[in-house]
């Protein structure tokens, strides 16, 4: 009985064709492009440091890019230096628009020739990644 299965001849009838489903049922929904966030890219300095570290590990940022992307709020002497000048202490968990912060930093650096060309390229690379996170770049613009 078991061997009958292996020794039996194939049937002469062609296999029955199954009815094919309509293409409309198989079509995938169109790819939706995420809408840009009106608030930009809200992150706390700690979240920005984590974000930069993930991009460094993923290869999107070099070591120099990663060092530049770290917020100055995380430095241990922030309250004694920058905080003393501005009158504010470091607020490591306060969310702010990092995209606007980086745009302001780059505009200042260009206006006052603050950075060399290599540092400016690094800053623009960080700004590009922040824009992608905020949904301001279409996938084919990369």
Predicted confidence (pLDDT) per residue in 14-62, tens digit: 666 666 555 555 555 665 555 556 667 899 999 999 999 999 999 999 9
Q: What percent of the chain has pLDDT over 90?
A: 57
Asked whether residue 82 is domain-assigned, the answer is yes
Asked whether residue 17 is domain-assigned, the answer is no
Asked whether residue 116 is domain-assigned, the answer is yes
C-alpha to C-alpha distance for 122 and 67, rounded to whole angstroms: 10
Asked whether residue 26 is domain-assigned, the answer is no
pLDDT band, very low/low/confident/very high, at 142 (cuts 50, 70, 90): very low
Asked whether residue 97 is domain-assigned, the answer is yes
Asked whether residue 106 is domain-assigned, the answer is yes
**Which pLDDT does position 43 carry in this prediction?**
94
Asked whether residue 15 is domain-assigned, the answer is no
pLDDT at position 140 over 60: no
Model confidence, pTM: 0.67
Q: Quote the number of domains for the chain.
A: 1
Compute the chain's Rg from CA coordinates. Answer: 28
CB 66 within 8 A of CB 126: no
Domain that holds residue 115: 42-135
pLDDT at position 78 over 80: yes
Asked whether residue 72 is domain-assigned, the answer is yes
CB 73 within 8 A of CB 45: yes
């Amino acid at each position: 009985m078991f061997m009958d299965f292996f020794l039996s001849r194939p049937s002469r009838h062609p296999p029955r064709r199954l009815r094919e489903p309509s293409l409309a049922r198989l079509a995938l929904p169109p790819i939706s492009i995420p809408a840009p966030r009106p608030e930009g890219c809200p992150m706390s300095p700690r979240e920005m440091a984590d974000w930069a570290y993930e991009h460094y590990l993923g290869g999107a940022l070099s070591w120099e890019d990663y060092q530049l992307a770290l917020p100055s709020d995380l430095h241990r002497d922030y309250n004694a230096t920058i905080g003393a000048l501005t009158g504010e202490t470091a607020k490591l968990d306060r969310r702010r628009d990092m995209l606007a912060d980086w745009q302001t930093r780059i505009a200042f650096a260009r206006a006052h020739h603050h950075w060399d060309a290599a540092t400016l390229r690094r800053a623009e690379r960080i700004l590009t990644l922040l824009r992608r996170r905020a949904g301001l770049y279409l996938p084919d613009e990369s």
